[in-house]
Amino acid sequence: MKSVLFASLLVLGLAGCASQPEVSNLLADRQELKVDPEVIYITAVTELFEERIPQPDGESLLQIQFAVEARSDAELAWKVTWFDAKGMTVPGVGEGYRKASLLTGQTRYFKATAPHSRATSYQLHLREPK
């Protein structure tokens, strides 16, 4: 009985170690673009680009640009969260959502620049402000 318990503990312990690489798998699951249903209803994200802009000192900064097309007059709030290679967030200037208004049929292009060269990935969230 005891040995069974010990064995299962061991298995659990091993599983604990094995869960380390699993985190990076989760990272792959993080959506780059998250759009709330209320927003999808009235707008469409038509483009989403990213590039690294080279800096004079040889480093580069991640920059994204996305386009939103409105089917009717729309209020929008958006925010980009930045992550480094290990999936940790890189803090930006503020943490609030940026508000934007769109007229019917208008396509607007928004840009965001990473706060540090170590940012390698991002998540863009679009929602409707209340």
Partner 1 sequence: MLIRAVVITAGLAVLAGCAAPTRYIDPAADDGPVAMTMDYRDFEKAATDAVEDMLASGAVNNPNGGRYIMVVSRITNDTMQRIDTDQLTKKIRVALLRSGKVVTTTAVGLNGAEDEMTQKARELRESEEFDQSTVQSKGTLQAPDLSLSGKILQRNHKVGKEQQVEYYIQLSLTELASGLAIWEGETPIIKRGPNKSVTW
- Report the interface residues with partner 1, using CB under 8 A: 53, 55-57, 61, 63, 77, 91-96, 98, 111-117, 129-130
Instruction: Dihedral sign for Cα 81, 28, 88, 50, please.
Output: negative
Residue that is written with structure tokens 């900064």 in the block: 61
Closest CA to 124 of 68, 91, 78: 78
Measured from the CB atom, is 112 or 126 closer to partner 1? Answer: 112
Whole-number minimum distance, CB 95 to partner 1, in Å?
4
Measured from the CB atom, is 6 or 49 closer to partner 1? Answer: 49
Whole-number minimum distance, CB 70 to partner 1, in Å?
20
Q: Tokens standing for 51? A: 């590039």
